[in-house]
Amino acid sequence: MDNVITTFRQLYVICKQKNQQIFETAIENEVAQGEYTEYQIRMQAKKSLDAMKSAINSGLKSTEPSPSKLSGDDCFKLQKRFEKFDSILGTTAQKIMTYALATSEQNLRMGTIVACPTAGSCGIVPSVLIAFAQDNNISENEQINALITAGEVGRLVANKMSLAGAVGGCQAECGVASAMASAALTQMRGGSVKQVINAVALALKNILGLTCDPVCGLVEIPCVKRNPFLAIHAVTASELAMADIISKIPIDEIIDAMEQTGKLMSPLLKESSQGGLAKTKTAIALEKNILK
């Protein structure tokens, strides 16, 4: 059976009609498909949440380099920095940045991560959700609700366009992950359905056109560092949405624009490693060194 809800507009209308939050409507819609019960859906979300926390914990403790030796110690460096100097953005932001790096680096070590929505963007949703939950005593049940909200955002975007960097560029990977994280964060902060959806719109609108140009064809440069950058991007979207700052372009139209942008983007900038950062002089030298 096809999903009943296919657009954010439909989601908003149903939430308002039934006086539900997004996660409640998402669960109800999923159960209506007849494959899973609400209990199974929530347990699967808990399994993902636990895996996210485990990846963060493992990543925080490790300095093991990636097989290419191009990355693996950025999280360690950032932790050492914050031991001496607090971030000007505050302690929760410190956690978000370090957690995003920890998770992304775990992915490169072939550790267990949750692709949300992809492996290359795996640090964004966990870092925002878990750091905020830790610092604000958010219950596990509420964290699960937030993760389901984020999942519904990813599902609705994927209903219109591919989330693969090879199809839509990194706007479809780290960009969508940032939008998902902004939704989860706004949900946990007590935002309304309108505010959650607006956070998604603001996050996506302001990342349109982000290319996917991995150096040496590996999900490392610039992918690892994009995770903490786009995690903070999600926080900004939530802050603006919670202030009732509205995206003038509706979210469904933004997704249409994102899809069009992906189609217009050169194939050289969509995961082929044939353009952009991947073909800088330094990147070419790194590639030759790895091939040796």
State the CB neighbour count (10 A cutoff) for residue 86.
12
DSSP code, position 64: P
Candidate CATH numbers 1.10.4100, 3.30.70, 3.90.550, 3.40.50; the one for domain 8-291: 1.10.4100
Angle at the Cα of 128 from the Cα atoms of 127 and 134, rounded to 5 degrees? 85
Radius of gyration of the chain from its Cα atoms, rounded to whole angstroms: 19
pLDDT score at 292:
77
pLDDT at 277 (0 to 100) = 97
pTM value > 0.85: yes
Say what the pLDDT of residue 3 is.
53
What's residue 55's pLDDT?
98
Q: Which of 114, 143, 119 is nearest to 129 (CA)?
A: 143
Q: Residues with Cβ < 8 Å from 151, sequence gap 6 or more?
A: 26, 45, 180
Q: How far is CA 21 from CA 18, 51, 68, 149, 221, in A?
A: 9, 25, 44, 9, 38
Phi, psi at 113, each rounded to 5°: -135, 170
| Residue 270 CB contacts under 8 Å (≥ 6 apart), including other chains | 165, 166, 167, 168, 169, 211, 212, 262
Question: Where in the chain are the domains?
Answer: 8-291
pLDDT in tens, the chain (292 residues): 455 899 999 999 999 999 999 999 999 999 999 999 999 999 999 999 999 999 999 999 999 999 999 999 999 999 999 999 999 999 999 999 999 999 999 999 999 999 999 999 999 999 999 999 999 999 999 999 999 999 999 999 999 999 999 999 999 999 999 999 999 999 999 999 999 999 999 999 999 999 999 999 999 999 999 999 999 999 999 999 999 999 999 999 999 999 999 999 999 999 999 999 999 999 999 999 988 7
Position 1 scores a pLDDT of 40
Tell me the C-alpha distance between 262 and 248, whole Å. Answer: 21
